[in-house]
């Protein structure tokens, strides 16, 4: 059975190149709708379980190829539509939102910093479980305080910042102008790292965290 796999959307521009092949060595084609371009491939579906990891690598490789040049809206990993007509219908319904977000994020990338709580050792007594949880809660508050310091440090280089709690700490998303990624890393690194907390910086990524809700979670008939 064949399905249409969607990779990402971007704005048409002179000189933007796209990869020739994508998942499972399938040909990558652009769907044009006004200024919007959606990259897609026709693939065998369902995907072979043994090839899922390689398929994910190939999927992200296509997005990364375009993202190195221009802003992109990435589709959910291995999103497939019933046929090309379904993708065309999706493009017609969402072109305004995609174009607006891509214009707004034209020169922006997403940088991230994750602040991890280093789990404390359980205290060996009758109340060790409760003491462990209390100690871990205290460390999480410590991580929140550190994340706030990082947020303050990156304000000069970040147009917008989101902070979310994750299982072991805080995840900081920053909208940064393309070309200022190294400055972002330096600013994060300038914040002293306290004992009991670890930190990791990553990026640049497509600015998926900063997409409008209509584009981030569109109603996609036929998407699987």
Residues 150 and 195 in one domain: yes
- Report the alpha-carbon distance of residue 29 to residue 43 in Å, rounded: 12
Mean pLDDT of all residues in 171-189 = 98
Asked whether residue 65 is domain-assigned, the answer is yes
This prediction has a pTM of: 0.89
Residue 63 Cα to chain centre, angstroms: 11
The residue out of 63, 89, 105 marking a domain boundary is: 105
Asked whether residue 175 is domain-assigned, the answer is yes
Residues 125 and 191 in one domain: yes
pLDDT digits (tens, 9 = 90+) for 6-53: 999 999 988 899 999 999 999 999 999 999 999 999 999 999 999 999
Instruction: Indicate which CATH number applies to the domain containing 131.
Output: 3.30.70.2730
Residues 171 and 126 in one domain: yes
Mean pLDDT of all residues in 126-155 = 81
The whole domain housing 184 covers 108-206
Asked whether residue 213 is domain-assigned, the answer is no
- Report the alpha-carbon distance of residue 27 to residue 25 in Å, rounded: 7
Residues 9 and 75 in one domain: yes
Is pLDDT of 224 > 70?
no
pLDDT digits (tens, 9 = 90+) for 22-33: 999 999 999 999
Nearest to 72 by CA among 60, 83, 84: 60
| Per-residue confidence (pLDDT) for residue 219, from 0 to 100 | 47
The residue out of 105, 121, 154 marking a domain boundary is: 105
Residues 69 and 19 in one domain: yes
- Report the alpha-carbon distance of residue 74 to residue 72 in Å, rounded: 6
Residue 207 near residue 175, CB atoms below 8 Å = yes
The residue out of 56, 74, 105 marking a domain boundary is: 105
Asked whether residue 29 is domain-assigned, the answer is yes
């Amino acid at each position: 059975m064949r399905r249409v796999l969607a990779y990402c959307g971007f704005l048409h521009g002179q000189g933007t190149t796209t990869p020739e092949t994508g998942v499972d060595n399938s040909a990558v084609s652009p769907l044009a709708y006004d200024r919007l371009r959606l990259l897609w491939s026709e693939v065998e579906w369902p995907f072979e379980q043994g090839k899922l990891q390689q398929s994910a690598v190939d999927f992200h490789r296509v997005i990364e190829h375009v993202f190195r040049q221009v802003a992109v809206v990435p589709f959910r990993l291995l999103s497939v539509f019933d046929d090309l007509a379904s993708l065309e219908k999706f493009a017609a319904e969402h072109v305004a939102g995609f174009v607006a977000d891509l214009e707004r994020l034209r020169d922006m990338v997403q940088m991230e910093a994750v602040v991890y709580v280093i789990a404390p050792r359980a205290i060996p007594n009758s109340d060790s479980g409760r003491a462990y949880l209390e100690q871990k809660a205290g460390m999480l508050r410590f991580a929140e305080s550190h994340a706030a310091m990082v947020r303050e440090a990156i304000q000069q280089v970040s147009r917008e910042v989101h902070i979310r709690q994750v299982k072991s700490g805080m995840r900081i998303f920053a909208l940064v102008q393309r070309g200022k990624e190294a400055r972002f890393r330096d600013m994060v690194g300038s914040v002293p790292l306290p004992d009991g907390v670890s930190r990791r910086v990553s990026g640049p990524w497509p600015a998926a965290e900063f997409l409008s809700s209509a584009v981030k979670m569109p109603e996609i008939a036929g998407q699987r």
